Amino acid sequence: MSPPSQYVEEAADLLPLLLEGSAARTLLELGSGGGSLAYHLKNRFALTLTDRSPDMLAISERLNPESEHICGDMMSLNLPREFDRVVIHDAIMYATDPDAVRATLRTAARHCRGGGRVVVLPDCVRETFEPATEKGGEDAADGRGLRYLQWRWDPDPRDHTYEVALAFLLRDADGQVRVEGDFHRFGCFARADWLAWFEEAGMTVRIHEDAWGRDVFIGVKRG
């Protein structure tokens, strides 16, 4: 569903943000999933990739064997070292209440050296959320294939979440097709809240608008 080929442009847009400022050699990604974004960063950084799912880490280990992989939750991870850069990509969307976001930002700050940068890339903030439908898919050389339809909406704009439903058409190598479904609830918070939580975690923060109009939060750890 999301191979490295789908992250080429996003990684190219992100890389200058990671390289700006003081020299950076080490990078920690919280909630790294299958490692498709990391695939495009490993030639520039020594990567430590963390996720709470052993299955996702196993996929990433096959894709990024050069990188360190650690099983751990982005809200509570506590490694005995600091990194030049810390990245949280779309895994931050699974933080669905303010306490979860604040805990994740504390984890990021705890693992970032003084003067280093924490870069967080939510899919949207409250001000930019829009209901939408997306579709896509990939084919494998052995005949397998996947097509998906994603539908997102917000049943209650007064709270901190929105809903995402996915329908999958999965074709096996023998041509058999089956249908599967999935459902997610994602967090959605106002810019002012994000800025306050970064400051609370000990970081000076600014917002960068990326090539797709999304808010990228860049925090520099004080001290």
Segment 132-165, tens digit of pLDDT: 999 999 999 999 999 999 999 999 999 999 999 9
The CATH number of 4-125+189-221 is 3.40.50.150
Where would I find the beta strands (DSSP E) of 19-126? 26-30, 46-51, 68-71, 83-88, 112-120
Note the Cα 201 to chain centre separation in Å: 19
State the Cα–Cα distance between residues 106 and 218, nearest whole angstrom.
Answer: 14
Q: Is the model's pTM score more than 0.75?
A: yes
Segment 71-117, tens digit of pLDDT: 999 999 999 999 999 999 999 999 999 999 999 999 999 999 999 99
Q: What is the C-alpha end-to-end distance of the chain, expressed in Å? A: 41
Domain 132-187 has CATH 1.10.357.10: no
Domain ranges of the chain: 4-125+189-221, 132-187
State the Cα–Cα distance between residues 215 and 191, nearest whole angstrom.
Answer: 9
Which residue is listed with tokens 């939750």?
73
Measured at the alpha carbon of residue 179, what is the angle toward residues 55 and 122, in degrees to the nearest 5? 50
